[in-house]
Amino acid sequence: MEISGNPECKNLLNNCLKVFRPFRGTYINIDYAPLPKGIAGRVNAEIETVRKRKNPGFFRKEVVRINRRIKNNEFYIRINENLKKITDEQLRREVVTSIIVHELLHIERKDLLEHSKNYRKRKHKKIHSSLEKEALERFNMLREQEGLKPLEKENYIEKEIVRRVNDAE
């Protein structure tokens, strides 16, 4: 696994990877970037789509098979640059760690291979249905490793993220 990007984010990413199984042969670039208001983090990858057409029989329809895969196993995690402005270092670290855990879960679950059309509709139905609870569990595992008390409220970090991102603009 190869990691590049902002030194602070790389350090936090390495810390987060302790609660994930290894991503073999993966390249992850992590950095702060300008993102739209209300979006704390985003993960992107180059996705290759191959369409194979089968010749139809005499009375059959043409069959199109679509294969999607992530090109070169490269992922780009972007964190809202407004979060860099948080002066309380411990709070910034918790917020960014929470975002990184969330984005790593997307990579682990291969959510990026889902069709990007109508993402807002799919977001709450398929992708984010159990993701929030699992992200909280992994985040609490990290806190326990650091000797901190686990969080019980699911939305504590999320509310802080939304407040900071919206206040900064």
Beta bridge partners of 28: 3, 75
The per-residue b/e assignment along 67-83, b for 16 or more CB within 10 angstroms, e otherwise, is eeebeebebbbbbbebb
Measured from the Cβ of residue 39, the count of other Cβ atoms closer than 10 Å reads 13
Kindly indicate the confidence band of residue 89, based on its pLDDT and cuts at 50, 70 and 90.
confident
* pLDDT, tens digit, 9 for 90 and up, residues 110-160: 877 765 555 555 555 555 556 777 888 888 888 888 887 777 766 566 665
- Backbone φ/ψ region at 38: left (φ over 0), alpha (ψ -120 to 50), beta: left
* Distance, CA of 104 to CA of 165 (rounded, Å): 21
The predicted structure's pLDDT at residue 121:
54
Out of 3.20.20.450, 3.30.2010.10, 3.90.440.10, 1.10.3720.10, select the CATH number for domain 2-45+73-115+124-168.
Answer: 3.30.2010.10
Where do the domains of the chain lie? 2-45+73-115+124-168
Which residue in this structure is represented by tokens 């042969």? Answer: 25
| Predicted structure pTM score | 0.78
Quote the tokens at residue 1: 């696994």
How far, CA to CA in Å, does 124 sit from each of 86, 119, 121, 127?
A: 29, 9, 7, 6
